[in-house]
Structure formats: C-alpha cells, structure tokens
C-alpha cells in the first residue's frame, strides 16, 4: 500500500475534491511545436566539487552562497561513475558554480586573490582530467569563466588576461570548450559577495562585450552563453533595481551571443537564508509550484526576441531546491515529480537544453557523491533519455494533478506520452489522437520519501555494466496510471 502519510490530511482531502477519476488527454497535432537539442537533458559538476571547495554535504547553513564544509576534489576516473553517466547518453556537462568567480587557474600569472588557506585552484591535472572525462563519455563541455570583480570601481573594465591564457593552453593541447560563459549568476553578486560587488547592467554589458571578443578571437568555434541570471520562485530576479538586470544587460550588449540562459530552482532548502517557496512535500506536489518556471521563461523569451533574436534559450542550471537541495526530499521519490514536469514543461515552452544541478554532489544530485548510487531522479532521467525524442507535440490534460507531455520517440513512427500523476488516487486515462499503445513504463515507490524506486514493479539494477528497457516486466495495456506515479506510454503515430 502506497504511503502518503506525509501530506497534511486536511489539505490532502481538499485537493482530492478538486480531482477527476478519469483524465482526458488530447494530442492536438502531429506537427511538432518545437524541437529540443539532442543533448537536451544535461547536467553540471559544480566547480566546488571538481576542485575541492566549499560544498553542501554536512553543511547546516550557508556562507556567501556556499556550503560551510570543504570537500575533497572529485575523482573523475571512477569506472562506476563512467557507467552511470554513459547510461544517460550524450549530454552537456556544465562546470560552474559560485566558486567559479574566485578560483585560481593554473595558467594564471596573477597571484591568488584570497588567503592561502582559502585558495581554490584549478590545477593542470584537474583540467586535463576533465577534458579526458568529457571525451571518453561523449560530453560537451560548458565552462564558466571567472568574472571575479567584487568592487564597483572595477566593473566595466574587466580584463581578459586569465581567460586568454587558459584558452591558449586549450588550443596548444587540442582541448575544446563547447560553450563558454562569464561569471556565475552575475545578477546575484550582491547575495554572494556583498552589495558593493553587484555590477550594474550597463557595466556588465561592457565587460561581456570584452569577453565575447576574446572568445571569438581565441576560441572561435566555442558558443557563448549569458547572462546566466538567477531567478527565485515568486520574486523573479529579486531586488529592484539592484538585481533586475537581465533585460537591460541584453539591451546594452553590442556583441551577439549564441545562448540566452538563466538559472532557476522551484524551491529552497532549509539551508537557504531566504525561502520564497520552501521545499516541502505539499509544495513539490502542487501544480501551482510549476507555474513560475513557465512565467519567467516567457520573460526571458521576450527579452531574447527583442535583443538577441538568433540566440537559443537554455535553462543553464536547475535543481529541486537552492543551497544543495533539501535533505530527505531532494534525494527521494517525491523529487521525481518536479523533475519530470520541468523536463516536459521546459521542452514544451522552448528551452533547448535543461542543465541539472547536479550530476554528483549535494542532496539534489542525480548520483550520490560518496556511494555512487543513483538517486530516484536519475531513473527519471534515464527513462527520459531512452524514450523521449527531440520533436515536441502539443497535448492537453483536463486534470491539473495529472501533467502530460508528448515527444517523438527514439524510433521513427512512434511517440511517447509522459504522464505525471501527482494524486494519491489511480487515474483512468482516455487518450485521443494517438495510435495504438505499444509499451508502458511506470515509476513508483513505497512512499513519497522512499530512497528506492521501481520501474514496472522492480528495482532497476545494472547487470554486466548495463541496464536496458527490456529488463523490466511488460505492463498490461490498460488505460490506468497508479497513484503518485510517473509514466511513459509509447504509441504508434
């Protein structure tokens, strides 16, 4: 019996009265409404994890946007880690995060800007290992270059020397950076580095123009992303006029960028000093919690259309809850619901790539950093990669607690319907406009806070280094979805 004991009973009963026993899903047309990047589902490795900085495991709070505990640098040469990443398929891997703006590059001629005990250094060995890691696992590297200007008098006159030196090293060693951005969440410098560190939109545009010219000269095949602004649930870019800089930045940018990207977390963990929407089971299972993502995405799309019409829109960083994720929620079954929805919703509204924070490290990781065991969200990602193709179709559901999304399948002539049932009751599905149903895959668990999930009733396991769709029992073709379940239904078209 599925346990929903952690949902407040009175709110649970109120929500039940709003829900339907049957759900009608209509495929409006087989003409795609948009198309996503082949590496749509991507992920990040935070620079703090890669290089051994301040991170979230063991931290009870935050210090300037970081965890309070320092960790050992990540070993990228672990066969089990390779196996888990390879199973997710080709992806972009973003290496960024708050410490990207303070890190010392091994190629830099300038002395570190912090005291020796606090210096975080990207060593030559780390950099070479990162490129080897990307090459053997078919990962395209997205890298956050250091902005690192923390006083207003420095803004608008950023110098490219450190970036040039690193790019020249890459050129000499045949290393490619596919996407490059400058600085991490530059509209939130005030929160991470103090109020006087916040650059104005116009000065930031000047510095970004300098950066773009540097990249075009020294790494002409790299694409450029920006501004990577942080948006909070309910309040967007937060403090006006201090941090609402994205539209003015784009308006003042003289050079062209390839990608307009942004960062968004739908919830905040208990570590976060500011919580506009706390990470709770009730919030995670509320359809209203998903609306802000769409709202802010539409804002970015308008600004993109106005100022950088040829750029793609990317969600450059996202996770279940800010500040490392919420313990005992972000790494549990309940987290699968927001993740499945954001993948489907993001693709539907035109986000070409979704970069998950993080691949490894923190409560919000796809893979547990110490044990290398996959968390529940990993299996949503795995099924998405196996079953959801690049073409996105328009579908509608008449029940807000049953979210639906449809993509082409990996094989021609088929499509996959993603059905997310956030209700404690089973639902009878009436699907209109689809062909015949071929296969069903269903993710369930014993409770919302379970660390283990099941696919078609059994726990997924790697056998001889692989896990395959045919490893799971076939489900009947009944038009029924289980309570609290995430479903992938495969149809002919």
Which of 102-116, 135-149, 402-416, 454-468 shows the lowest per-residue confidence on average (mean pLDDT)? 102-116
pLDDT at residue 9, as a whole number: 42
Q: Do 29 and 42 fall into the same domain?
A: no
Confidence of residue 14 (pLDDT cuts 50, 70, 90): low
pLDDT at residue 2, as a whole number: 54
Structure tokens at 391: 């073409």
Backbone angles phi, psi at 52, to 5 degrees: 85, 50
- What's the whole-number mean pLDDT along residues 403-407? 98
pLDDT at residue 193, as a whole number: 83
Evaluate whether residue 4 is within a structural domain. Answer: no
Checking if the pLDDT of 223 tops 60, the result is yes
Evaluate whether residue 178 is within a structural domain. Answer: yes
Evaluate whether residue 2 is within a structural domain. Answer: no
| Structural domain span for residue 462 | 9-33+393-492
pLDDT at residue 126, as a whole number: 98
Evaluate whether residue 233 is within a structural domain. Answer: yes
Q: Do 363 and 413 fall into the same domain?
A: no
Q: Do 358 and 457 fall into the same domain?
A: no
Evaluate whether residue 333 is within a structural domain. Answer: yes
Evaluate whether residue 171 is within a structural domain. Answer: yes
Distance of alpha carbon 424 from alpha carbon 462, whole angstroms? 30
Q: Do 360 and 377 fall into the same domain?
A: yes
CATH number where 482 lies = 2.60.40.1180
pLDDT at residue 464, as a whole number: 85
Q: Do 383 and 398 fall into the same domain?
A: no
Checking if the pLDDT of 324 tops 70, the result is yes
For residue range 70-102, list pLDDT tens digits in order: 999 999 999 999 999 999 999 999 999 999 999
Domain boundary among 338, 367, 388: 388
Evaluate whether residue 301 is within a structural domain. Answer: yes
Q: Do 195 and 335 fall into the same domain?
A: yes
How many structural domains comprise the chain? 2
Domain boundary among 388, 416, 432: 388
Distance of alpha carbon 122 from alpha carbon 145, whole angstroms? 12
Q: Do 44 and 29 fall into the same domain?
A: no
Across the chain, what does the average pLDDT equal?
93
For residue range 257-309, list pLDDT tens digits in order: 999 999 999 999 999 988 999 999 999 999 999 999 999 999 999 999 999 99
> Percentage of the chain with pLDDT > 90?
84
Q: Do 162 and 263 fall into the same domain?
A: yes
Q: Do 23 and 136 fall into the same domain?
A: no
pLDDT at residue 115, as a whole number: 58
Q: Are strands 41-44 and 353-356 parallel, antiparallel or unpaired?
A: parallel
Evaluate whether residue 258 is within a structural domain. Answer: yes
Q: Do 202 and 182 fall into the same domain?
A: yes
For residue range 20-77, list pLDDT tens digits in order: 789 999 998 999 999 999 999 999 999 999 999 999 988 888 887 889 889 999 999 9
Domain boundary among 351, 372, 388: 388
Distance of alpha carbon 211 from alpha carbon 207, whole angstroms? 6
Rounded to two decimals, the pTM is 0.95
Checking if the pLDDT of 240 tops 80, the result is no
């Amino acid at each position: 019996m599925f346990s929903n004991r952690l949902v407040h009973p009175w709110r649970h009963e109120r929500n039940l009265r709003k829900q339907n026993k049957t759900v009608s899903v209509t495929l409006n047309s087989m003409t795609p409404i948009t198309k996503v990047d082949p590496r749509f589902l991507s992920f990040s490795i935070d620079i703090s994890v890669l290089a051994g900085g301040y991170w979230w495991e063991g931290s009870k709070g935050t210090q300037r946007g970081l965890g309070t505990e320092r960790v050992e640098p990540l070993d990228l040469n672990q066969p089990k880690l390779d196996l888990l990443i390879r199973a997710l398929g080709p992806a972009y891997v973003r290496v960024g995060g708050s410490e990207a703006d303070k890190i010392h590059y091994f190629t830099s001629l300038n002395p570190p800007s912090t005291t020796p005990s606090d210096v975080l250094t990207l060593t030559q060995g780390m950099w070479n290992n990162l490129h080897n890691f990307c090459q053997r696992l078919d990962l395209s590297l997205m890298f956050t270059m250091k902005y690192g200007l923390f006083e207003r008098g420095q803004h608008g006159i950023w110098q490219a020397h450190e970036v040039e030196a690193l790019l020249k090293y890459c050129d000499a060693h045949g290393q490619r950076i596919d996407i490059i951005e400058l600085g991490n969440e530059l509209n939130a410098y005030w929160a991470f580095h103090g109020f006087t560190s916040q650059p104005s939109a116009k000065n930031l545009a000047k510095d970004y123009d300098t950066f773009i010219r540097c990249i075009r000269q020294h790494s002409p095949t790299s694409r450029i992303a920006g501004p990577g602004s942080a948006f909070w649930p309910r309040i967007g870019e937060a403090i006006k006029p201090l941090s609402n800089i994205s539209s003015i930045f784009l308006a003042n940018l003289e050079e062209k960028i390839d990608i307009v990207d942004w960062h968004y977390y739908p919830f905040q963990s208990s570590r976060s000093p500011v919580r506009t929407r706390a990470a709770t089971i009730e919030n995670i299972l509320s359809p209203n919690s998903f609306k802000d993502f769409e709202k802010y995405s539409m804002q970015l799309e308008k600004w993109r259309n106005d100022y950088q019409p040829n750029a793609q829109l990317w969600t450059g960083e996202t996770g279940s809850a800010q500040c490392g994720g919420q313990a005992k929620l972000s790494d549990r079954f309940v987290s699968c619901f927001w993740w499945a929805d954001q993948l489907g919703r993001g693709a539907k509204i035109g986000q070409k790539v979704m970069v998950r924070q993080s691949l490894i490290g923190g409560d919000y990781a796809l893979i547990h950093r110490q044990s290398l065991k996959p968390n529940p969200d990993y299996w949503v990602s795995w099924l998405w990669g196996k079953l959801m193709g690049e073409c996105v179709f328009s579908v509608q559901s008449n029940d807000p607690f049953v979210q639906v999304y449809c993509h082409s399948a990996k094989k021609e002539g088929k499509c996959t319907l993603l059905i997310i049932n956030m209700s404690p009751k089973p639902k009878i599905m009436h699907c209109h406009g689809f062909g015949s149903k071929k296969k069903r895959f269903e993710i369930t668990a014993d409770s919302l806070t379970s660390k283990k999930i099941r696919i078609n009733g059994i726990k997924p396991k790697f056998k001889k280094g692989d896990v395959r769709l045919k490893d799971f029992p076939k489900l009947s073709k009944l038009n029924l979805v289980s309570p609290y379940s995430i479903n992938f239904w495969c149809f002919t078209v």
